[in-house]
Structure 1
C-alpha cells in the first residue's frame, strides 16, 4: 500500500451468508483494500448459520455422491487466473487446477478438466478459497468468522445496524450489511400444506418439502428398504435423491462390455416412482469440448438488438418494455438454429465448409434473406429442424396403452439423447446448439431484468412457457448420471409414471397417489413422497426470521412491475434492489445505501441468480457483481448517514465471533 496516512474512521461490514456469492464479495473486498492509496481500517464479519466459508448448499459434511453439473475446468472462485505467484485474492486456481494440485501433493483422487466434482469437493475448494482471503488481508483489516444465524437487523440511530444472533442476547454491530443468504426455505403452499396435513395424520406416511437433497431426511427410518417412494419433479435434484436412495444405500453400478451400466442392488434401496410435467428426466449435458474461457459470440440476440427493440416499442406504444415472444424469443431461436445447422455442415464437410455456411447463413438471417433455400442447397432440408418444445415435451399428445409401452419409449428417448451428448457440445449439432442457451444468458438478462418485459409477457411467455423448457434443456447432469438412471429403470428400481404426472392423496389407501393421464394403468401409491423441486424465492413466504422481519419493518420490499401504458402489474416475489451495486429498496421505494443484496434473494428482479462460480479467463457477471458491491462498501456513506460513534463495538462478541477472535482467526 502507498502512503502513510491512516483513515481514522474504522468501517465495520457484515456479510450474511458465506456461500459462493458472499465469498466473492469478500475476495473482491480484499483485492480492493490492497489497491487503496490510503489504508482503511476495516472489520468484516463473515456470518453463516451452517459453515463459514462454504455455506449450506456446499457444506463439507455432506456425502460425496451429490455432484456438480459443470465440469471442473470451467469453475473458479478467483476473479483472476493464476499468475505464477501464490494463490491470493485476484489470482488463484480454478477448481480443476486446485484438484490437480491436491492430487499431486496430497494423493487425492485426480479429475480431468472435463470431469465433474462432487458438491463436497467444491465445498472444500470454497473453504480453501476462504482461507486464502483470510491469510492475505492487508494490515488493519480483521475478518471474523461468526457461525450463527442472524435473526434480525435493526437500524441504529447513529447509523448502521445491530445484527441479532440466534445464540445470544448481545448483537453484532455493522456500518454496512450485505445479504447473500442463498436458497430459501418457504412456508408451504396450498399443495404442500395438503400433503403435509395428510401425512401428519398417518403414521409411517411422510411428505418431504423441496430442499437440497443433502438436507432431506432420506434415511431408512423415513424411506424404508423395499418401500415405494414417490418423487415429484425430475430436474437436477431428482438425480440427487435417486443416487442417495441407491448408491447411498449400498447399491453399485457395473460397466458392461458395450459401455452400458447394470445396477447391482443391495436390497436396502426403496422402489422409486417419479413423475413430472414433461415425463422426461432432465437430459444429459453434452461431452465438453470447449476451453474454459470459450463462450458463444451472439450474432442475432445481441445487446444492440435488445436496445433497438426497446426503442421500437417505445416509439410504437409509449413503453419500452418488451414482449418476450415477439422481441426476444425469435432472435434466441435464430442463435440456436445458426449453431445447429453450422455444426451439421462442419461435421459432414469439414471446418472450412462450416465457416462458409455460417457466413452465408448469418447473412441470410440478418438481411431477411431466404434461409430455407440455403438449407436446401446445403443438403440439410431432410434433417429434423431444432424444436425446443418437442425436445422438452417429447410425449405431448401421445397416449400409451400400458406402462411397459411408455417405459420402452422413454428409454429410447434417453438413449438417443445420450448418443447426442456423446458427440460433444461442439461437434454434436444438438448439444452445441443447446449449449448456446447458457452462453447467451447475459443478453437474456438485459431483456428481462428489472422489469424489462411487459408484466403479462414476463409471467406467461417467460416464466410459464420458456423457463421450464430452458431449464430442462440447458443445465443437465453429467452423462454418467443419466446412464445410471437408464440402468435403474431397466432394473425396475425406478419407474417414471409418464407425462403430465398427477400427485394426490388417496384416502382409501392411506398413501399418496401418482399417475399419468396419458399412460393407462400407471397409477401407483407410495407412503413417502419427496418433492425434488428446489424452492423458488418468494419474499412473502420465506421462513427466515431475518427476511420476514426486514419485510415487516419496511427495510426491504418486494419487486413489483407496473406498466401504466398497458395497465399491467406483476408482483414478482423477489427482493427489490437497485442496479449495481444492488442496494435494497425499502417499503417507500428508497435505496438504503448501507444495505445490499446479491444472488438468489434477488431472483425475479434479476434472472438466474443461482450461479455459484465464475469461469477461468472470463470476467463474468458473477465476479463483476461482487466487485460492484465491494467497491461501494469501501465508499463513504452520505454525510447524514455517517455513524457518530466509533463503529467497532467494544463490548463482548457473541458465540462463534468470540471464538474466532480467541482462536486468532483475524488478519
Structure 2
C-alpha cells in the first residue's frame, strides 16, 4: 500500500547517515512544514555505526587527528541548504572540558543549546586529547552520537522519526514506493530511499573459497572489529597477509587487547619495551610491498599545507581525457622532489652540492619519459645525480626491497622502522617527510581530476592505481606510536617478516607463506585488509535484491564494482534510466566519485558533506513527488 504520508528511509546510521539527517533538517528550514516520516535503519549503533560503535575497545584509534574532522558544514561550504555551524571533534572535546577560547560563537551556541552527555569511561582520554591526537574510535562514536542528537533536534515538528534496530535484507519496488524488508520480519514503506551502508564485504573470490574450504583457520578480509581475532590461539606462529592499517589494528588487538603492556624505554630503538601477557601469538607478516605503511609525522600540530605548484598548474590545463602517467605524474613527482630539496636547503644546507635554484632548474628540465612510477622516479634520480650528499630516492620507497641484498629480513626491517621513526619525529624538519607528504596531499586533487572516468583505462589501471597505492602507504599510515609498538614487538620476537610478494600454499595441516627470502607455516592465516565493495560479486541479501534495478558504473566500457549514480546519487537502471527514489552514496560509489572514504576535514569544503547535502535535497523532492 502506498504510504499516506511522504516517507524517507535512510539505511546505515554511521557518519553519512547522520549527515543526511542533519542536511535534511537544513533543507527543511526554508520549506513550509509538511508531514514526513523519517525511518532510520541500522542493526548496529544508530548514531555512530559499526565502525565507530561507542562500546568497542579503546585500543583501536582513529587514523584521523582530533582537530582534522568534523560533521558540520561551515560558512565557506558550497552546500545548497543553509550552513549549520558546529564544533569539530576537538572543539567538542574542548567544550566538554569547559574551554571555549578561540571557538566560533555559533559553534558554542549550538553546543550550549544541546548539552552533551559522555560516559565516565572517556574522562581520561578527554582530559589528554590534543588537536594532533588520534582519538579512540569509540570517542569519535560519542561525538557522532551528539551530532546525531543535534541533527534530530533541528528537524521540524512535522517530521516523525522512527528508529529501526535491524538489518535491511531487501529493497523492492512497489509501484510508486519502495518496500524495505528488515531482518526482524518488519517492513518499511518509503517514497524515497538512501543506502549509506558503508563497507559491504563482497563474495569470496575463487581462491578465497578454496581457503574457506581448506579445513584450516582462515580469517577472511574484513574490518578488524568484525574479524574473529579473539579465536586466534596464543603462543603459536600465525601468518598475516597485509602491512597496512588492517594489520596495525590486528596487531593492537592481539597484543594490547590481550593484556600486553608497552613501557617507555629510551634504551631501545623504538623508545618502548613490550611486556607480554603470555596470551599473544607470534605474527609472521608479509605483503605485496613487504614493507609496513609509514608512520605519520609527529608535527605536534595539524599537518602543514603541501605546496603543489607544478601539479596544480598541470591539473588546470588538462583536457577531457587524461593520461595520468604522462600528463600528471611527472608534475607531482617534481613537486615532491622540490619539497625535499627545499627542506634540505633549510635544515641541512651543507648537504647541497649546488645552489637550490640550480637544483630546481635541473629538476624542472629533467626528461621523464616513463609513465611507470618506479621508472619515472629513477629518471629524476639520474637527472639530479650529484646535487646532494643525501639525495632523495623515491624509487626506493616504491620498491623498498630492491635495495635488500640478503640476510635477515627482520634485521633489515627493524633498522628501516627505526629510520622511519626518526623521520616521523623530525616531521617538518625531515626532507623525506616533506616529499612524501607532497605525494600524500596530491591524492585528493588527483582523484577529483580522475573522476568520473576521465583517465584513459591504461593509465587508470597502471600509473594512477600505483600512485594512489603508494600515496596510501606513505601518507595514510598509522600514528607514530603504532610504528614504535611494531618495532618493540619485533625486538620482543613477537612479530617477524617474510618480505614482499608472498606465495600462499596449503595442505591438510597448515598454510605456508613463501617469499624469495623466507617462508613460514601455520594452521592460522589472517588476511589483514578489506576488499572494496563490489555489487557484481556480493552475497549480501540487500545487494542481491537490487539486481535488475542498479547497474555497475562503466569506465571506458569496463564494468567496475560500483553502482552507477547521478550527481544527486540516484541510481541508474541497467537500461540507462534514472531511478525516481533509490539513492546510493558513499563508499560503494568509489569507482565513479572521488574521496568516498575520507572523513570531512574542516576548512576544505568536504566532498562528503556536499554529497549528503545534494542527496538530502533529492530525497525530499522524491519523497513528496
Q: TM-score, normalised by structure 2?
A: 0.85
CA contact 1:456–1:570 (8 Å) conserved in 2: no
Residue aligning to 1:186: 202
CA contact 2:314–2:327 (8 Å) conserved in 1: no
Could you list the per-position Cα deviations for residues 397-435 of structure 1 after superposition, in whole angstroms to 9, with x for gaps in the alignment? Answer: 64524xxx22111111111111111112x3322223322
Residue aligning to 1:476: 477
Instruction: Check 1:176–1:478 CA distance in 2 against 1; reply closer, same or farther (3 A cut).
Output: same
Could you list the per-position Cα deviations for residues 547-579 of structure 1 after superposition, in whole angstroms to 9, with x for gaps in the alignment? Answer: 1110x2x211111123xxxxxx4221111112x
Task: Point out where structure 1 has 5 or more consecutive residues left out of the alignment.
Answer: 1-8, 83-87, 200-204, 311-319, 563-568, 644-667
What is the DSSP-based 3-state SS (H/G/I as helix, E as strand, rest coil) of the residue aligned with 1:634? helix
Q: Distance in 2 between matches of 1:600 and 1:232?
A: 23
Residue aligning to 1:91: 85
Q: Distance in 2 between matches of 1:461 and 1:435?
A: 19
Residue aligning to 1:59: 53
CA contact 1:234–1:274 (8 Å) conserved in 2: yes
CA-atom RMSD, angstroms? 3.0
CA contact 2:75–2:83 (8 Å) conserved in 1: no
Instruction: Check 1:215–1:380 CA distance in 2 against 1; reply closer, same or farther (3 A cut).
Output: same
Of 523, 546, 565, the match for 1:577: 565
What is the DSSP-based 3-state SS (H/G/I as helix, E as strand, rest coil) of the residue aligned with 1:616? coil
CA contact 1:13–1:176 (8 Å) conserved in 2: yes
CA contact 1:301–1:443 (8 Å) conserved in 2: no
CA contact 2:8–2:193 (8 Å) conserved in 1: yes
What is the DSSP-based 3-state SS (H/G/I as helix, E as strand, rest coil) of the residue aligned with 1:246? helix
Q: Distance in 2 between matches of 1:28 and 1:298?
A: 33
Residue aligning to 1:296: 306
Q: Distance in 2 between matches of 1:280 and 1:233?
A: 9
Residue aligning to 2:397: 391
Residue aligning to 1:125: 143
Offset at residue 513 of structure 1 (A): 0.6
Offset at residue 608 of structure 1 (A): 4.0
Offset at residue 81 of structure 1 (A): 8.1
Offset at residue 616 of structure 1 (A): 2.1
Offset at residue 49 of structure 1 (A): 2.0
Residue aligning to 2:554: 560
Residue aligning to 1:141: 159
Of 522, 529, 535, the match for 1:533: 529
Offset at residue 149 of structure 1 (A): 1.1
Residue aligning to 1:229: 238
| Superposition misfits of 4+ residues, deviation over 6 angstroms | 360-373
Residue aligning to 1:596: 583
Residue aligning to 2:184: 167
Residue aligning to 2:616: 630
Instruction: Check 1:349–1:92 CA distance in 2 against 1; reply closer, same or farther (3 A cut).
Output: farther
Q: Distance in 2 between matches of 1:129 and 1:63?
A: 21
Of 220, 227, 250, the match for 1:209: 220
CA contact 1:255–1:262 (8 Å) conserved in 2: yes
Q: Distance in 1 between matches of 2:594 and 2:135?
A: 26
Residue aligning to 1:339: 339
Of 447, 450, 471, the match for 2:449: 447
Offset at residue 286 of structure 1 (A): 0.9
Q: Distance in 2 between matches of 1:223 and 1:561?
A: 41
Instruction: Check 1:140–1:417 CA distance in 2 against 1; reply closer, same or farther (3 A cut).
Output: same
Offset at residue 617 of structure 1 (A): 2.9
Offset at residue 331 of structure 1 (A): 2.1
Q: Distance in 2 between matches of 1:89 and 1:44?
A: 21
Offset at residue 183 of structure 1 (A): 0.6
Q: Distance in 2 between matches of 1:362 and 1:33?
A: 54
Q: Distance in 2 between matches of 1:636 and 1:224?
A: 52
Q: Distance in 2 between matches of 1:269 and 1:224?
A: 8
Residue aligning to 1:246: 255
Task: Point out where structure 2 has 5 or more consecutive residues left out of the alignment.
Answer: 77-81, 99-117, 369-378
Residue aligning to 1:542: 538
Instruction: Check 1:112–1:454 CA distance in 2 against 1; reply closer, same or farther (3 A cut).
Output: same
Instruction: Check 1:80–1:143 CA distance in 2 against 1; reply closer, same or farther (3 A cut).
Output: farther
Residue aligning to 2:106: none
CA contact 2:191–2:622 (8 Å) conserved in 1: no
Q: Distance in 2 between matches of 1:382 and 1:328?
A: 29
Offset at residue 630 of structure 1 (A): 1.9
Instruction: Check 1:48–1:363 CA distance in 2 against 1; reply closer, same or farther (3 A cut).
Output: farther
Offset at residue 289 of structure 1 (A): 5.2
Instruction: Check 1:261–1:626 CA distance in 2 against 1; reply closer, same or farther (3 A cut).
Output: same
Q: Distance in 2 between matches of 1:357 and 1:396?
A: 29
Offset at residue 339 of structure 1 (A): 2.4
1:458 aligns with 2:475: no
Offset at residue 290 of structure 1 (A): 5.1
Q: Distance in 1 between matches of 2:620 and 2:359?
A: 49
Offset at residue 484 of structure 1 (A): 0.3
